[in-house]
Chains A and B, each alone.
Chain A
């Protein structure tokens, strides 16, 4: 089966940097996604990693280590609007099946 773990909650200060970790144990790994979900809204795509290393996109970066079954999402220069749930999702097999973690609720404070 699949197992994806993320911290349930994190709190950080506006302007700071926060790292949200995700560990996974799956068979047929074929990529890892990060989605952002504001309360009452749809998940929106943030990043995708399939090879080891860091992918940078503006204030957001995502890292993957396939040998360790580990990823993180790095958010820089935090803004109040970054308060949301961050979902780690693993793609498996040749199709497009995503298995989501339970999400990390990030609260950004002044």
Chain B
């Protein structure tokens, strides 16, 4: 009965490839988020969707494209991967103010 789940947990790929990370929540929350945590453990918001509508879109390269097919899912597609994209990507969801995080996807770009 996982609340917020992400796949895959680990992703190792070559520079220039395109990859996707999937997120699903079974909490019935209306809002979902993508965060990036870099090697210095700094956690930064990238995107947020509320009921499939994009509401937060931080300064992120347009190689990153979120997609929300329904309010329980928020996927992140990354084109033309670069070395600097290596990080842990966390998905989160919330109904009101408290955000609940998924287990993270560790992306390594070689």
Q: Taking beta carbons and an 8 Å cutoff, which residues of A are in contact with B?
A: 31, 33, 37, 41-45, 48, 85, 87, 91, 95-100, 102-103
Q: Is B17 an interface residue (CB 8 A)?
A: no
Of the listed stretches B61-69, B70-78, B79-87, B96-104, chain A binds: B96-104
B interface, size bucket: 20 to 34
Q: Taking beta carbons and an 8 Å cutoff, which residues of B are in contact with A?
A: 4, 31, 40-45, 48, 55-56, 90, 94, 96-104
Given known A42-B102, A45-B100, contact A100–B90 (CB-CB < 8 A) = no
Expressed in whole angstroms, the minimum distance between the Cβ of A88 and any Cβ of chain B is: 11
Across the interface, which residues of A come within 8 angstroms of B55, CB to CB?
Answer: 95
Looking across the interface, which residue of chain A has its beta carbon closest to that of B102?
A: A42
Q: Name the 8 nearest CB pairs between A and B, nearest first.
A: A42-B101, A100-B43, A43-B101, A42-B103, A45-B98, A102-B42, A103-B41, A97-B56
